[in-house]
Structure 1
Amino acid sequence: MSENTPGIAAASERVIKKYPNRRLYDTQTSAYITLAEVKGLVMQNEPIVVKDAKTGEDLTRSILLQIILEEEAGGAPMFTEAMLANIIRFYGHAMQGFMGSYLERNVQMFTEMQSRFADQMKGAAPEAWRSFMGMQDMSAAAGNYQAQSQQFFQQMQEQMQKQTEQMLAAFGVKRS
């Protein structure tokens, strides 16, 4: 999950090497680990980077996608077929880059909302749990998430419009 210079893992990242026999080796524990254990590291927010043991190529995305594939095939999928088809349609589309950042920002906002809610519920009195079960608090949080999502989407649209105008201006076409 490195955003650093390609080929250089951050000191805090846990390096996992993938060997040609498909085995994964955790360099921190000096032991072979399973894909399920890699998933566990991700679930614990452990920064990881997966490298090909021979070439040093970054395989992190590939391993994360493999984990998602196994989870999706495991009984309780998160993505519907329609959603997956829509995601596929964005590949090669002018909006591909924007869709990725839009999805990433929405998942990040949802995760932050979930974390804030969990913090609020720690040690909560039974009345707070009854309120939660009545969905009063959740409705407000969902409304806030929706508003943030709409604002981000609007910003994305405005950015696309500006880029389109700049591109057309480069060809001598001006907006009327």
Structure 2
Amino acid sequence: MTSKKASGAAKPAQRVIKKYPNRRLYDTDTSTYITLTDVKQLVLDSELFVVRDAKTNEDLTRSILLQIILEEEAGGAPMFSEAALANIIRFYGNAMQGFMGSYLEKNVQAFTDLQARMAEQSKTVAPEVWAQFMSVQNPLMQQSKGMFEQLQEQMAKQTEQMLTAFTLPKR
């Protein structure tokens, strides 16, 4: 891995991105201005970074990540339904707000871990074997896909029920 700095100094543990009043983002690691798309790529590459206001040094990381999510939701196939978003909003100010954040974080992490394990296991199989497996197992794969979709629906219903059970009555 090559260092991005010419000095050969050790790479900092956490990349610092400064946000200026003109809304521009400056990557102090590469000494260049970057876009939200570049920040999204840092997330996809699992880079550690923090976004700080250039004037006040306030941590703006969450705000930038939410902005990326907003753009992703608006730009294609949304991940969240309107009902799910409304339920999340209802948790703000609710006694269960802390629980909900932890619940979502743990479940997203579990899903990410499962996805990573499946990806790692698939690397050890030769492409020819995958092709043969897919052609022979197509009916089984379709059945598995159906089961996975049922599992997704069931998890969505359970989450919806949990959210409904913990929300405060409407005033």
Same fold (TM over 0.5): yes
Quick one: structure 1 residues 127 and 45, their matched pair in 2 at CA, closer, same or farther if it must change by over 3 Å?
same
**1:115 matched residue in structure 2:** 116
d(CA) in 2 for partners of 1:45, 1:139 = 31
d(CA) in 2 for partners of 1:137, 1:86 = 28
**1:26 matched residue in structure 2:** 27
After TM superposition, the structure 1 stretch with the greater mean CA deviation from structure 2, 104-113 or 124-133, is 124-133
> 1:75 offset after TM fit, Å?
1.9
TM-score (norm 2): 0.71
Quick one: structure 1 residues 127 and 62, their matched pair in 2 at CA, closer, same or farther if it must change by over 3 Å?
same
**1:134 matched residue in structure 2:** 142
Aligned length: 135
**1:83 matched residue in structure 2:** 84
> 1:138 offset after TM fit, Å?
9.2
TM-score (norm 1): 0.69
After TM superposition, the structure 1 stretch with the greater mean CA deviation from structure 2, 50-59 or 128-137, is 128-137
4+ residue stretches of structure 1 with deviation over 4 A?
Answer: 137-140
> 1:127 offset after TM fit, Å?
4.1
Q: Which 5+ residue runs of structure 1 have no aligned equivalent?
A: 1-10, 151-176
**1:47 matched residue in structure 2:** 48
Contact 1:26/1:33 (<8 A) preserved: yes
Q: Which 5+ residue runs of structure 2 have no aligned equivalent?
A: 1-11, 159-171
> 1:129 offset after TM fit, Å?
3.6
Contact 1:16/1:48 (<8 A) preserved: yes
Q: Counterpart of 2:79 in structure 1: which amino acid?
A: M
RMSD of equivalent CA atoms? 2.5
Deviations 1:98-131 (A, max 9, x none): 0000000000000011111111222352344454
Contact 1:121/1:128 (<8 A) preserved: no
